[in-house]
Chain A
Amino acid sequence: MTNMISPRLIAGLALATLSLTFVPAQADTLDNIKKAGKVRIAIDTAIPPFGMTDDKLQPTGSDVDTAQLLAKDLGVSLEIVTTTGPTRIPMLQTDKADLVVSTLSITPERAKVIDFSIPYADHPSVVASLRDVPLKEMSDLAGKKVAVVRGTTQDTDLTQQAKGAQLVRYEDDATMALAFASGQVDILATARSLLPAISKKNPARTAESRITMQTFYLAIGMRKDEPKLKEWVNSWVKTNLQNGQLGAIYKKYHGVDIPVEQLLKAGN
């Protein structure tokens, strides 16, 4: 009996050991992208108007257009890796994507684990509420239910600044928007760019911007220690900010101009 079991047991243990000591790819990502002829870019397609799906269920949005432009200039094809807010960084860490172009704002916590390009767009985040729920400052949130997407910068900010607020955390923007539209919450903290889409879900419940929490700079995320890739992406962002291509993409989806000078200054 023992003899029958042990080879299997050993094989199982060997497998288990292997899976615990896997070696992440450490080669140069820029070379790999060119060799493979495709770049894998992680985009959250549930954050209109940055990433969303059109009537034919094809990904579209300003981040999608940005990724397409980047792939074209890189001379390779684009593979969109669909992701969600909390999984954007793990996608890079586990080598499921080469780059993240997904409303990724630059924060010190994130900079510890991944590298950022220079900013390619800006992104103010706000606390918004129903028309008959007035708010002036963070302290007004005490004792109130505030919807937020788990792991976002709004989540971090509210946890620190809105003492006494009851944070209701959802996994993505779509679920949070649904919670607001269906009346589970009357206040939410999110990107200003999302408010029109959220208000459209239920015209009886429109979200009005009350408090600007922070203006973030959005950057392209990549794994650490990729100097060649970082240099290429940085010069690409700079060129396309200056020639207005990135501005045109932003304007097409958001209806506002991006502050090119401010972004270039922040990049230096």
Chain B
Amino acid sequence: MLYKFDFSFLLEKWPAFLTGAWLTVKLTVLSIALGFVVGTLCAVARVYGGRALRLLAGGYVELIRNTPLLVQIFIVYFGLSSVGLKLSAEVSAVIALVVNMGAYTTEIMRAGIQSIHHTQLEAADCLGLTRVQTILHVVLLPAIERVYPALSSQFVLLMLASSITSQISAEELTAVANNVQSDTYRSFEVYVVVAAIYLALSLLYRLAFNAIGLMLFERRRRLGTAL
């Protein structure tokens, strides 16, 4: 006897999958945007900051990159509410994802910033740019361009990792899948469908990052070559 696939639950349940996917998109786009800002600030602090700032940023990166995301999520959701700070599952999820994203982005952006040749900085110095102006106008954009592929990978990874926020009752795509599975018992089919949705989302994210890259980086747009 062969396993009989039965996808008929989709007829009734597709709006639930759509709602779940939409929450996944909202959670992750917000987390990626905020996490990128946090990461870039920390990377600048790690490269150009004073001793205290460097230590602080370094400690943050090591702490987050060496602990599991699920544990971080539990600390935000259960830990903070135990001491009286009650955040909803969605807010807790975004906070944990931003903190996590920030740490990984810090390391990627640090690589980008350190790859900028020192003669560029000397040139900026000669033109009389201040340290802040140099970072903003000379260092950051080419640094992002250099590490853009690594960044977009990390962003997509975060989107996939957001599936574990179902553990704290955020009703995102995986939570919806668990609901439907427990309703219909078609576990194989449900997770095949969800895998396909995640795959489509990943491709969509990559397309979007590619488009953003083309808008942002003139060299890539005009010459099509990497920096």
Q: Chain A interface (Cβ within 8 Å of chain B)?
A: 21-24, 26, 85-86, 89-90, 93, 109-110, 113, 147, 150-151, 155, 168-171, 175, 178-179, 181-184
Contacts and interface: CB of A to CB of B under 8 A. Distances in A.
A179 B78 contact: yes
B223 interface: no
Given A26-B1, A183-B84, A113 B169 contact: no
Interface in B155-181: 166-169, 171, 175, 178-179, 181
What are the 8 tightest A-B residue pairs by CB atom distance, in nearest-first order? Answer: A151-B182, A182-B82, A182-B81, A168-B169, A182-B78, A86-B182, A90-B187, A113-B185
Contact of B171 (A23, A85, A169): A169
A23 B84 CA distance: 53
B2 interface: yes
Interface residues of B, number: 24
Contacts of A171: 166-167, 178
Contacts of B79: 182
B69 interface: no
A169 B1 contact: no
Chain B contact residues: over half helix, strand or loop, or mixed? Answer: helix
Contact of B179 (A168, A169, A179): A169
A110 B183 CA distance: 9
A234 B1 CA distance: 27
Contacts of B181: 86, 90, 151
B179 to A, nearest CB: 6
25 contacts: A21-B2, A21-B3, A22-B3, A23-B1, A86-B181, A90-B181, A90-B185, A93-B185, A109-B185, A110-B185, A113-B185, A150-B175, A150-B178, A151-B181, A151-B183, A168-B169, A171-B178, A178-B78, A179-B169, A182-B79, A182-B81, A182-B82, A183-B82, A184-B81, A184-B86
Contacts of B182: 85-86, 150-151, 155
Nearest to A22: B3
B89 interface: yes
Contacts of A90: 181, 185, 187
Interface of B: 1-3, 77-79, 81-82, 84, 86, 89, 166-169, 171, 175, 178-179, 181-183, 185, 187
B178 A184 contact: no
Nearest to A202: B82
A156 to B, nearest CB: 8
Contacts of B178: 86, 150-151, 171
A213 B168 CA distance: 25
Nearest to A113: B185
Nearest to B80: A182
Contacts of B86: 183-184
Given A89-B185, A90-B185, A170-B169, A184 B2 contact: no
B152 to A, nearest CB: 27
Contacts of A93: 185, 187
B78 A169 contact: no
A158 to B, nearest CB: 13
A113 B164 CA distance: 28
B68 to A, nearest CB: 16
B227 to A, nearest CB: 31
Nearest to B182: A151
A90 B79 CA distance: 32
Contact of A175 (B81, B84, B167): B167
